[in-house]
Amino acid sequence: MQRASKRSSGRTLLMFVAFGPAIGGTALGLWFIALDILDGGQFHWGAITTLPLLAVAAYIFGLLPAFFTGVAAMALSPRIFNDRLWLLAVTAVGLVSGVVYVFLSPSTGLLMGGIGAVAALASGILALAIRPLGPEIIPAILTQGRRGSTNPHGSQTSKRMIR
């Protein structure tokens, strides 16, 4: 019996939906803390303690862009084998899906795009080990065919090897 592969589109989507909003919320919180410090404010440890709350609250606004970015990552994964190019494409999709929040305020559109890009890049890095690298659905006749047939990897198989 063959073991199921750890690589799947569903797991790739789950990585983006599960981690993307939290990463984006944390990045947004760190951005606000950095702006406060650069504007001459003092660093307060209380601001750091709000990061977990901000990460959880980010699911309200970040779940939909994370879902769309995950769907795009799923669709692009079998077509782009190079990890760096795939990460670049996924980050670009995250940027675009974050800019969608321009309706909140025109000045926040670019900021949300950047946050979306950061979240997409981090989620993509997490998903590198599980993203599919080719067609997932291979007809059974190719993998468990007659004696002497070739499998998708080009090597010969036999009924004895498949059991």
Top pLDDT among 115 and 161 is at 115
pLDDT band at 50 (very low <50, low <70, confident <90, very high): confident
| Residues of the chain above pLDDT 70, percent | 77
- Supply 47's token pair: 């601001």
Longest dimension (CA), the chain: 75
- Which region among 53-67, 73-87, 139-153 has the lowest average model confidence (pLDDT)? 139-153
Domain ranges of the chain: 9-134
- Could you tell me which residues come within 8 angstroms of residue 66 by beta carbon, excluding any fewer than 6 positions away? 16, 17, 20, 21, 24, 97, 119, 123
What string of H, E and C letters represents the secondary structure of the chain? CCCCCCCCHHHHHHHHHHHHHHHHHHHHHHHHHHHHHHCCCCCCHHHHHCHHHHHHHHHHHHHHHHHHHHHHHHHHCCCCCCHHHHHHHHHHHHHHHHHHHHHCCCCHHHHHHHHHHHHHHHHHHHHCCCCCCCCCCCCHHHHCCCCCCECCCCCECCHHHHC
Q: Output the six-digit token pair for 1.
A: 């019996």
The rounded distance, in Å, linking the Cα atoms of 29 and 23 is: 10
- For 128-141, write each residue's pLDDT tens digit: 888 877 654 443 33
Q: What pLDDT is stored for residue 68 in this prediction?
A: 93
Look at residue 159 in the predicted model and tell me its pLDDT. Answer: 43
